[in-house]
Amino acid sequence: MTADNATHLTPELPTDREFALLVDAFLASYSENSRREYGRDIRLFREWCETHGGGIHPFEAKRRTIEAYVRYLADVRGNQPRSVNRRIICLRQFFEFALDDDYVLRNPCRNVRFAKPKMDLSKKVHMNREETQRFLRAAYDSSQSEYAMCALMAYLGMRVSEVCELDVPDVLHFSKGHRVITFVGKNGDPATLPQPPVVMRALDVVIEGLEDKQGPLFVRRDGTRMTRRSADRVVKRIAKKARIDDLVVSPHVLRYGSIANAIDAGIPLREVQLAARHRDISTTIRHYDRGRFNLDTHASHGLAAYLGAVG
């Protein structure tokens, strides 16, 4: 290959405006929260290229560039393996998008190894049954709106962003004899969840107290829609009131607890996976089924009883 041909095959780097338009087009297919996170990830990588990568353009990155960036995220920024992997996944998808539009010849993230998060089984990550009951009691005593908001996360495993984005009509649908909640979940996937009576009663009390029966289901004191940050403050205040002292309680801890407690309740893993809206059951098993390490319920007990003893 001649030098002229090599130059001809190398894509021309986009201008700042073209790059910004490409980023906007890439983010357009994601939900609001994903757009915010992925946009931040791309900006972080571009800033690193300018300050630590020798001033190269992101589309000049090679595999070794991405590997150096991974080391920077872990060693300098102190990001945990899960956060590092999420940022690399974002870049890998972005480079695939750029590849389709002929901005790059290859995806430098394609063969980069992901870090393996270590699961600390000694670390408490969710509230058990008694603690969840105590938490919900404190939420009930605080306000009906706060109780209903927490109930959606603790009973149905809804994500805080999904809860905050609900409008009143979203919880008044019916399907197959059940009153259901319909909304757009993670990655833009439509979701439908049934309302157990305890949840239905809590929602009805909230709706009855709202002036706007078509607007946001959960509002802040100033009347505006509840936000993730405000919801997090509510959850932490209630946890303090409920005397949950050995765990930093967040909205995700409520979702985590709903999944883990469902497993503890003996609900089949396949049903728990569907309720959690995990695409792969391995996610449910790996991250939430910590009961598989329970020595009291280890399969060896049942197997020993089945096989019997000798002598």
Burial call 81-119: b when 16+ CB within 10 Å, e when fewer: eebbbebbebbbbbbebbeeeebbeebbbeebeebeeee
CATH number (domain holding residue 46) = 1.10.150
C-alpha dist (Å) from residue 218 to 36, 162, 207 = 22, 11, 9
Query: Tell me, what's the pLDDT at 31?
Result: 82
Same domain, 167 and 248: yes
Same domain, 135 and 272: yes
Same domain, 64 and 169: no
d(CA 129, CA 97): 45
For residue 55, the 8-state DSSP code is: T
Q: Report if residue 112 sits inside a domain.
A: no
Residues pairing with 181 in the sheet: 193
Q: Report if residue 65 sits inside a domain.
A: yes
Instruction: List, for residues 157-194, the tens digit of each pLDDT value.
Output: 999 999 999 999 999 999 999 999 999 988 788 999 99
Same domain, 91 and 179: no
Q: Report if residue 33 sits inside a domain.
A: yes
Taking the chain (311 residues) in runs of 10, the rounded mean pLDDT of each run is 49 91 93 89 95 92 94 91 91 94 92 74 76 95 96 94 96 94 88 94 96 95 94 96 92 92 86 87 70 58 74 55
Tokens of 282: 């391995």
The boundaries of the domain holding residue 51 are 12-100
CATH number (domain holding residue 243) = 1.10.443.10
By three-state DSSP, how is residue 183 classified? strand
Query: Tell me, what's the pLDDT at 7?
Result: 46
Q: Report if residue 146 sits inside a domain.
A: yes
Same domain, 214 and 82: no
Same domain, 181 and 259: yes
Q: Report which of 281, 286, 283 is spatially closest to residue 270, judged by C-alpha positions.
A: 281
Q: Report which of 185, 122, 179, 189 is spatially closest to residue 157, judged by C-alpha positions.
A: 185
Number of domains in the chain: 2
Report how far apart the first and last C-alpha atoms of the chain are (Å, whole number).
79
Q: Report if residue 260 sits inside a domain.
A: yes
pTM of the model: 0.64
d(CA 12, CA 105): 11
Residues pairing with 219 in the sheet: 225
Query: Tell me, what's the pLDDT at 1?
Result: 38
Query: Tell me, what's the pLDDT at 116?
Result: 74
Query: Tell me, what's the pLDDT at 2?
Result: 42
